């Protein structure tokens, strides 16, 4: 009997899982993706308006993970990858008065006005701090204070946390949210030691490549922000179009239950589909809801994973309003400022093709865990907050000629302290339900790259289950 599999949710996690399954299962396997909304993509979706390309969620991914590049290649998108403009490298930090460029070296950091002298020396002292090797959980804030000091943590590390996760560094678990940082400490003894060692390895690799006269590998470490021509939505629609059976849209799965003979019943549209395995790749709320009647404890654990809200705002201005168009990647603001704007990306500098000729685009993210109220503000209030920020940071007084807003009441899952223990408990409960698999950005990584790696692993587990 050919195997039948149901995937719930057509975001990147669900679609990449279905695509991987299609590659590794026998060709007669029947893989059905159910999607509640009218299009695939979930968080990763692109809109177009008045010549602007508008990303509701991710504006790209870092090209340093093989899985993502392999996925793009396997669906024929390699030629459509667009790297960020190299002139957009400079990143800024907003500490409440003006923008400060993030230094490229330790020496330029020491001569910058980012921190007090004491704060800078404390950062430089990082290489002498002994690693914490007990393997226990630790908040990002505590990790930062321990390694680089309180001042740098509150000004710099906190801004990155806000920018990437829209969360609070005191609540978020370092090993769950930034496992690479924990690894740098465990493996190399500290962050600076790790960066030095990795830079040496990169140099040696580059030399080797030079000798062989090969181009630099696309997936070389560090990574460049990369999008797809036409926007991130193209990745998702192309992925969906390569599936043998197109995702079933406008179809929410409203119940799953064990059927006889080790199979599952998936309820949707007052119909039932019988499958051998079901993979939940929807957000936490719906996973918890679907699992409640089957395993209330598992449902409670999943429900316990918090989400931070976020609001995405794009403002467009005619180039003529600027004597000099701001160049660089954009800026982040630490949560301690309590400002509604978490950061602003200079979209026209990064991806010039995403704005109409003669116009400049800025993309701001507002809200997060510290300012959950912002998502309920009116459009005018939201735009006023962004304009207020741009007035201080970039001296932009002009009225925007274009504005666009997308609200995410539950934008980004937060891996709070205890997340890894929670994952263990979730996995133990999941194993009690053969044929049930859990995926999505709420477990093992929020970035698209992480979701794609996780989808590969989930597909491999499903294959092993089917094979037994």
Applying CB under 6 A, the residues found at the interface with ligand FAD are 8-14, 34-37, 42-44, 57-61, 252-253, 281-283, 286, 310, 312, 408, 411-412, 440-441, 446-449, 451
Sheet holding 436-438, edge to edge: 30-34, 4-8, 277-280, 436-438
Q: What are phi and psi of 447, to 5 degrees?
A: -65, 155
**Smallest distance from the beta carbon of 98 to ligand FAD, in angstroms?**
26
Which CB sits closer to ligand FAD, 102 or 350?
350
Which CB sits closer to ligand FAD, 11 or 334?
11
**Smallest distance from the beta carbon of 451 to ligand FAD, in angstroms?**
5
Q: Could you count the other beta carbons within 10 Å of the beta carbon of residue 90?
A: 16
**Smallest distance from the beta carbon of 285 to ligand FAD, in angstroms?**
8
Distance, in Å, from the CA atom of 246 to the CA atom of 289, rounded to the nearest integer, reads: 25
Q: What are phi and psi of 333, to 5 degrees?
A: -125, 135
Which CB sits closer to ligand FAD, 235 or 417?
235
Which CB sits closer to ligand FAD, 412 or 453?
412
Which CB sits closer to ligand FAD, 61 or 192?
61
For residue 397, give both structure tokens.
């007084």
308: closest CA among 158, 175, 174, 162? 162
Distance, in Å, from the CA atom of 272 to the CA atom of 282, rounded to the nearest integer, reads: 19
**Smallest distance from the beta carbon of 309 to ligand FAD, in angstroms?**
9
169 to 160, 172, 279, 418: CA distances (angstroms): 9, 5, 31, 14
Which CB sits closer to ligand FAD, 60 or 230?
60
Interior angle at CA 290, CA 252 and CA 429, nearest 5: 145
Which CB sits closer to ligand FAD, 12 or 31?
12
**Smallest distance from the beta carbon of 108 to ligand FAD, in angstroms?**
27
Q: Which long-range contacts (CB under 8 A, 24 or more apart) does 287-290 make?
A: 287/438, 287/440, 287/442, 290/8, 290/253, 290/254, 290/255, 290/256
**Smallest distance from the beta carbon of 183 to ligand FAD, in angstroms?**
19
**Smallest distance from the beta carbon of 82 to ligand FAD, in angstroms?**
14
**Measured torsion, CA atoms of residues 158, 159, 165, 168, in degrees rounded to the nearest 10:** 40
**Smallest distance from the beta carbon of 268 to ligand FAD, in angstroms?**
7
Distance, in Å, from the CA atom of 159 to the CA atom of 168, rounded to the nearest integer, reads: 10
Q: Where is 206: in which H helix or E strand?
A: helix 191-211
Q: What is the DSSP string of 176-197?
A: HH-HHHHHHHHHHSSHHHHHHH
For residue 164, give both structure tokens.
């990437």
Cα Rg of the chain (Å, integer): 23
Which CB sits closer to ligand FAD, 17 or 139?
17
Which CB sits closer to ligand FAD, 34 or 317?
34
**Smallest distance from the beta carbon of 365 to ligand FAD, in angstroms?**
6
């Amino acid at each position: 009997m050919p195997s039948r599999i149901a995937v719930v949710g057509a975001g990147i996690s669900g679609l990449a899982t279905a695509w991987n399954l299609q590659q590794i299962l026998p060709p007669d396997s029947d893989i059905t993706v159910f999607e509640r909304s009218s299009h695939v993509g979930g968080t990763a979706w692109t809109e177009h308006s008045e010549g602007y390309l508008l990303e509701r969620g991710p504006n790209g991914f870092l090209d340093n993970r093989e899985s993502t590049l392999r996925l793009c290649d396997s669906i024929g998108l390699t030629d459509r990858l667009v790297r960020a403009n190299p002139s957009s490298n400079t990143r800024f930090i907003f500490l409440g008065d003006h923008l400060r460029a993030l230094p490229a070296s330790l020496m330029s950091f020491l001569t910058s006005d980012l921190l007090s002298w004491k704060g800078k020396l404390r950062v430089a002292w990082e290489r002498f701090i002994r690693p914490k090797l007990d393997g226990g959980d630790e908040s990002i804030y505590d990790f930062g204070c321990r390694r680089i000091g309180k001042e740098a943590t509150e000004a710099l590390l906190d801004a990155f946390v806000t920018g990437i996760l829209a969360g609070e560094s005191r609540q978020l678990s370092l090993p769950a949210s930034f496992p690479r940082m924990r690894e740098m400490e465990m493996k190399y003894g500290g962050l600076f030691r790790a960066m030095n060692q990795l830079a040496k390895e990169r140099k040696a690799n580059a030399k080797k490549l030079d000798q062989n006269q090969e181009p630099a590998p696309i997936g070389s470490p560090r990574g460049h922000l990369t999008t797809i021509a036409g926007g991130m939505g193209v990745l998702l629609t192309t992925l969906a179009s390569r599936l043998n059976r197109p995702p079933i849209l406008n179809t929410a799965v409203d119940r799953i239950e064990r059927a006889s003979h080790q199979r599952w019943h998936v309820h949707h549209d007052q119909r039932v589909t019988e499958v051998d395995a079901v993979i939940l790749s929807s957000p936490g709320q719906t996973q918890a809801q679907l699992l409640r009647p089957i395993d209330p404890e598992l449902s409670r654990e999943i429900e316990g994973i918090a989400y931070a809200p976020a609001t995405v705002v794009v403002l467009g201005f005619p180039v003529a309003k600027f004597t000099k168009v701001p160049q660089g990647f954009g800026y982040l603001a630490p949560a301690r400022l309590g400002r509604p704007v978490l950061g602003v990306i200079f979209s026209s500098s990064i991806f010039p093709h995403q704005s109409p000729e003669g116009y400049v685009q800025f993309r701001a993210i507002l809200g997060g865990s510290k300012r959950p109220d912002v998502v309920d503000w009116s459009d005018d209030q939201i735009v006023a907050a962004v304009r207020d920020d741009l007035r201080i940071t970039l001296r932009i007084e002009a009225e925007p000629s274009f504005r666009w807003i997308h609200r995410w009441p539950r934008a980004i899952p937060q891996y709070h302290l205890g997340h890894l223990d929670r994952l263990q408990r979730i996995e133990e409960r999941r194993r009690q339900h053969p044929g049930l698999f859990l995926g999505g950005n709420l477990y093992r990584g929020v970035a698209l790259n992480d979701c794609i790696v996780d989808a590969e692993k989930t597909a491999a587990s499903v294959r092993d289950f089917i094979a037994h």
